[in-house]
Structure 1
Amino acid sequence: MCGIVGILGLTPVAPLIVDALKRLEYRGYDSAGIATLEAGHLERLRAEGKLRNLEGRLARAPRRGTAGIGHTRWATHGAPSERNAHPHATERVAVVHNGIIENFRELREELLAAGRQFESETDTEVIAHLVTVEMARGRTPADAVAATLARLRGAFALAFLFEGEEDLLVGARRGSPLAIGYGAGEMFLGSDAIALAPFTDTIAYLEEGDLVVVTRAGATVHDEAGAIVDRPIVTMTGATYVVDKGNHRHFMTKEIHEQPDVVGRTLSHYLDLPNGRARPPEGIDFSAVDRLALTACGTAFYAGSIGRYWFERIARLAVDIDVASEFRYREPPLSPGTLALVISQSGETADTLASLRHVRQAGARVAAVVNVRESTIAREADLVLPTLAGPEIGVASTKAFTAQLAVLAATAVAAGRARGVLPAEEEVKLVRALSEVPRLMTEALRLEPQIETIAREIARVKDVLYLGRGTSYPLALEGALKLKEISYIHAEGYAAGELKHGPIALIDETMPVVVIAPYDGLFEKTVSNMQEVAARGGRIILITDRRGRAAADVGAVETIVMPDMPAAITPLVYAIPVQLLAYHTAVLMGTDVDQPRNLAKSVTVE
């Protein structure tokens, strides 16, 4: 969730870019920079730390250029430093980037072998060099960018400024948001409408795979196939300067589609991606922890339930997990070796806060997984593990849930290494697998048209059953919760092995049964449960992968085929179809998706 701004203006743009970047500070950052064209030449100013450091440099060395790009960076590849700050540049192009380039190592080695020299540790610098190479082959700037995009794997939003091109910006997005702002003789690019609000109220949002060529006369958008397309231009009201849905009908779907970006940013905070290592959380010595006590409410509880599997499997650390409203009344024994982990999107959830205080009174330490650093839970915990999801407006949590999963997965890997139970080569495999999640999420989002069609069937029923095993069991619980809270259709989630212990009595030809079953070590057992459903006429909606589809000969009514991935990361990616199924069902039911009845974003009373 780095911040991106680009301006083709009529007056010096450097102070305007800094002002726009200030509006993106809520995303978090550790360095900032700008690039402008000064008499046609690319000039950069960058600074580690807060924007005031960059402003100080601009005060000492003002920039007069009327074309420029700017960036606030949250460190991913390479430590926070001036040389790793954006924009990154060559002799021909400067670029700012939000996201992660997964194949940057092989591209960097190729470029080094060709004689290109690098000044940073970042993945982003690879992009600038690739574009420069393509331009040296005679391509136009826009064509050079298009050729480069075809070689990149990962999720990104990009803005480019070119040497000698006073009237040109090029932008692109895949997995991360980017907006176009229209002015009178001026044009803008930004991570979202908040950044562009001081300059224009006329906005268009790039869609997945788009490339845009911007001049002061306007913008030409090309889709992923290269065809020129029109993207809807909307006029914002004052309220949308603070929270804006973009092209989306609801905040919920906007936040579902933000997940590749959000999860990528969160993982980058907790993982040393270039070296395949998990960063140990400051303030936690997992070698001295003999038990975790997890507590949370609602969706956060299901995130913690998935985290329990990871901590026990990867770190061999015993875990208790409680709904926060029951935790302190159960009066669990808390030893000096117990670490409590409380999970809350808002950081203000009353029961979770009460659990935190109960733990503190018992003398145990508390770590908080929260999305709001200034919240009460964050302030009262011994240490904070931020989720970095950005503002979540929809009451039904989506991106905060997967960001919580990202934190828990990365922390479990770090705990495994600290406890000496996770070999280094296994740590590398897990970190590499986690680095693939943003790309896999983007692929899962492409299944939305099929999921919308399935939702038409779900919208006709009164009851739905969700089944899963292993980490798919808490995800089944979360799927049922999502459907209940926004569509008002009754749904229940069960461990698939519990089917014959009661829920099977509900199965008939009218009952949809959503089965979450990646092809893993538990798949064959889940297939036997699906056969029990099929034998009683139940309508199976199977969420699996290609191997699962081939192996599950149970006559599913619908099969949602997910991309192949390691079993350890499936909850993060399989959350996408579960969320989309609930969302599209609710839209068809005509409910208030973003503000469902009787619910609040943050529950601040018991």
Structure 2
Amino acid sequence: MCGIVAAVSQRNIVSILVEGLKRLEYRGYDSCGVAVHQDGALRRARSTSRVAELDALIAEDGVAGFTGIAHTRWATHGVPAVHNAHPHFSPSLANARIALVHNGIIENHDELRAELRAKGYEFASQTDTEVIAHLVDLHYDGDLFAAVKTAIVQLKGAYAIAVFCRDEPHRVVGARAGSPLILGVGEGENFLASDAMALAGVTNQIVYLEEGDMVDLQVGKYWIETREGEGAQLSFKRVEREVRTVYAHSGAAELGPYRHFMQKEIFEQPRAIGDTLQGVEGISPELFGDGAYKVFKDIDSVLILACGTSYYAGCTAKYWLESIAGISTQVEIASEYRYRDSVPNPRSLVVTITQSGETADTLAALKHARSLGMEHTLTICNVATSAMVRECKLAYITRAGIEIGVASTKAFSTQLAGLFLLTLAIAQTRGRLSDAQEAEYLRAMRHLPVALQGVLALEPQIIAWSQDFAKKQNALFLGRGLHYPIALEGALKLKEISYIHAEAYPAGELKHGPLALVDSEMPVVTVAPNDALVDKLKSNMQEVKARGGELYVFADADSRIESEPGVHVIRMPEHYGALSPILHVVPLQLLAYHTACARGTDVDKPRNLAKSVTVE
């Protein structure tokens, strides 16, 4: 989502700030900006264009400095406009002395704004962030660290902030609560960022700040304090945090022969699946961490918490867990779970699914589940150093690699691979997985990269379909059983990047309402593997055909579904049983991608969306 980069050095750090922002562009944003200490004053440049345009503006204005902060903003409060872009200054008008950037949402910003206006502060933006800048200025009395400490006590909500002061030119202060922030340790210089990748090539010495931490950065030193207690018992104490060596990508990912990162990442799925399964010689609970066997023996149910695409991965896993492992499974949208009255089960395994490991809703849902006494926690995550991995007792790291495109592809398929391994491990622990079944499942999983290559070879046929879809405004997706969540994911991909309204339904529900929408202008995409429900699915397809609808069917080779007027069929290379969802999602990704290309949308950075959603 929003991105932060900050630096304190004895050299001009503007290029470091700008390069950091470029590495964070994949998150999605609608404005960007840089502020530095220059010639005894605060200077800044802000833009609602891409970071490249901001870089040109910086060069034109001669912005340079040895202390500074930078930001990419995804709008929450106030429209995308230069006056709402970060960094924010306080006072807002002439003679500013505080510069601040912020990720997160301040829930009590309205009441704080009223109090600050009563004290004479003027607001130049509609953002909640400007409130923090004015609070720091209000409390500033020569010590920036003390001013920030006093200000954050008044905040309700989530934040990661970086702030510096005109009157203390070699100092940056950071603080986090509910949003990620990391410290980069250099030689004679120090850095802050919301993601270690922003500091790739600058330093690989990283400190992951923990909830409630504040950090004081100076040229040759830093120290960290953490918040303890609440109200009258609130205090801060000095702490040490581990410095880790983190080898992030040293530069922006290369597109190679591909048109967009999303296309590249779709085609990386055979490699990503292979990497995710690397080292898996047999099924064992310890694949998920020390002590997993004891946990799996103790549980009697599974609760999956996730958002967006990861939620659909969880919905798929529910079918696997209940049919193969024989364990009751519930899947919850993380942003809903924590705000409803639920019935906690201490013997439930709480599984979170997240690409970034920093998804605010999922982290909050996990903490809520733990507060209800559910201590068995496990995450399927793509980032080994993320907050989610640190918060959960058990983990399986999917090795998808960095995913630049906002619309998730390889992260989804590797999540499915990790969830299938989890299913087998729990099944084994419960005595429901024979040696022969284990061997067969492992053989099928090892063959996945080859099978996926066969699916990717269907791209030319899918491009032809996309020309028809590009002219449409609506689409329906149908699936049954294990493939209903895959239909949901296909519909999500199409609307995310092509802006075509798309919905997905269990095919049996078609006659209970959605059939009213079907006419010759409504394409109906059908996921049709040759499984136990294929004959039922064929009947649902006939319902569409009888109403003049156009069917676009991804069918297994042996499912006996033929092309005819009004029925377009692309045949999958092979039937893949329980693992079929991992194959069937790929043509849906390609369909969405090529439809978006035909419509000329910004595929990798779709409007209004962000990659790592670190606010609720």
Does the 8 Å CA contact 1:465/1:514 hold for their aligned counterparts? Answer: yes
Q: 2:400 — aligned with what?
A: 389
SS at 2:495's partner residue?
A: helix
Which residue identity lines up with residue 607 of structure 2 in the other structure? R
Paired amino acid for 1:281 = F
Question: 1:32 maps to what in 2?
Answer: none
1:333 Cα offset (Å): 1.9
Choose from 365, 369, 378 the match for 2:380. Answer: 369
Alignment of 1:537-548 (within 5 A): 537-548=548-559
Distance in structure 2 (CA, Å) of the matches to 1:276 and 1:295: 24
Q: Distance in 2 between matches of 1:332 and 1:593?
A: 38
Alignment partner of 1:530 out of 502, 526, 541: 541
- Distance in 2, matches of 1:378 and 1:426, equals 30
Structure 1 distance, partners of 2:564, 2:369, is 48
Structure 2 match to 1:281: 288
Cα distance in 1 for partners of 2:463, 2:597 equals 10
* 1:576 to 2:586 alignment: yes
C-alpha displacement of 1:286: 1.6
Whole-angstrom CA distance in 2 between matches of 1:564 and 1:309: 21
What is residue 85 of structure 2 aligned with on the other side? none
Check if 1:318 corresponds to 2:328: yes
Q: 2:338 corresponds to which residue?
A: 328
Are residue 294 (structure 1) and residue 284 (structure 2) matched?
Answer: no
User: Secondary structure of 1:494's match?
Assistant: strand
CA distance, structure 1, for counterparts of residue 283 and residue 615 of structure 2: 42
Letter in 2 for 1:362: L
Q: Distance in 1 between matches of 2:346 and 2:607?
A: 43
- Tell me if the contact between 2:313 and 2:412 (Cα under 8 Å) persists in the aligned partners: yes
In the alignment, what sits opposite 2:467? 456
The equivalent residue for 1:200 is none
> Hey, what's the Cα distance between the residues in 2 that align with 1:404 and 1:562?
22
Alignment of 1:405-554 (within 5 A): 405-548=416-559, 550-551=560-561
Secondary structure of the residue that 1:241 maps to in structure 2? coil
Does residue 265 (structure 1) correspond to residue 275 (structure 2)? The answer is yes
CA contact (8 A) 2:288 2:395 kept: no
Report SS of the residue matched to 1:561: strand
The alignment partner of 2:406 has SS state of: coil
**Counterparts of 2:489 and 2:263, CA distance in 1:** 17
Mean CA deviation greater in 282-291 or 431-440? 282-291
Question: Residues 292 and 452 (structure 1 numbering): CA distance in 2 closer, same or farther, change over 3 Å?
Answer: same
* 1:560 maps to amino acid: I
**8 Å CA contact 1:586, 1:593 repeated in 2:** yes
CA-CA distance at 1:255 after TM superposition: 0.4
Match of 2:598 in 1: 588
User: For residues 314-337 of structure 1, what are the alpha-carbon distances to aligned partners after superposition, in whole Å with 9 as ceiling and x for unaligned?
Assistant: 100100101111111223222221
**1:219-258 correspondence runs (5 A):** 241-258=251-268
Distance 1:463 1:333 in 2: 38
Is 2:548–2:566's contact at 8 Å kept on the other side of the alignment?
no
- Per-residue CA deviation, residues 501-560 of structure 1 (Å, 9 max, x unaligned), is 100000111110000011111100100000000011110000011112x24577553211
Q: What is the rounded CA distance, in whole Å, between the counterparts of 2:385 and 2:358 in structure 1? A: 10
Give the alignment's Cα RMSD to 1 decimal.
1.9
Name the amino acid aligned to 1:538.
G
The 1-side partners of 2:400 and 2:576 are apart by 24
Output the amino acid matched with 2:547: R
In structure 2, C-alpha distance between the alignment counterparts of 1:332 and 1:397, rounded to whole Å: 30
2:585 alignment partner AA? A
Identity of aligned residues (%): 48
Rounded to whole Å, the distance in 2 between the matches of 1:258 and 1:329 is 37
Task: Give the length in aligned residue pairs.
Answer: 366
CA distance in 1 between partners of 2:349 and 2:284 (Å) = 23
CA contact (8 A) 1:471 1:571 kept: yes
Matches within 5 A, 1:4-23: none
Which residues of structure 1 form unaligned runs of 5+?
1-196, 198-238
Secondary structure of residue in 1 paired with 2:278: helix
CA distance in structure 2 between the partners assigned to 1:546 and 1:376 by the alignment = 43
SS in structure 2 at match of 1:341: strand
Contact 1:278–1:431 (Cα < 8 Å) also in 2 = no
TM-score normalised by the chain length of structure 2: 0.58
Q: Deviations over 1:311-358 (max 9, x none)?
A: 111100100101111111223222221110011101111110100111
Assess if the C-alpha contact under 8 Å between 2:285 and 2:296 holds in 1: no
Query: 1 CA distance for matches of 2:351 and 2:562?
Result: 38
Indicate conservation of the 8 Å contact 1:276/1:428, yes or no: no
User: Displacement of 1:431 after TM fit?
Assistant: 1.5
**Pairwise CA distance, 1:453:** 0.7
Give the counterpart letter for 1:412 in structure 2.
T
Question: How much does 1:241 deviate?
Answer: 3.4
- Offset of 1:369 from its aligned partner? 1.1
Q: What are the Cα deviations for residues 127-153 of structure 1, in whole angstroms up to 9, with x where unaligned?
A: xxxxxxxxxxxxxxxxxxxxxxxxxxx
Partner residue in 2 for 1:344: 354
Tell me which residue corresponds to 1:226: none
Match of 2:568 in 1: 558
Match of 2:367 among 357, 376, 397: 357
Give the match's secondary structure for 1:520. Answer: coil
Change in Cα spacing, 1:328 to 1:277, as seen in structure 2 (3 Å) is: closer
- Structure 1, 376-385 or 471-480: larger mean CA deviation: 376-385
Letter in 1 for 2:288: P
Distance 1:462 1:455 in 2: 13
Q: What is the identity, as a one-letter code, of the residue corresponding to 1:360?
A: R
Cα deviation, 1:453-500, whole Å, max 9, x if unaligned, reads 100000011100000001110000000000000000000010001000
Question: Hey, what's the Cα distance between the residues in 2 that align with 1:264 and 1:464?
Answer: 33
Q: Distance in 2 between matches of 1:353 and 1:325?
A: 10
Residue 357 of structure 2 aligns to a residue whose secondary structure is coil
Give the secondary structure class of the aligned counterpart of 1:515: strand
The question of whether the paired residues in 2 share the 8 Å contact of 1:280 and 1:415 is answered with no
Contact 1:456 1:585 in 2 (8 A): yes
- Tell whether 2:411 aligns with 1:400: yes
d(CA) in 2 for partners of 1:368, 1:560: 35
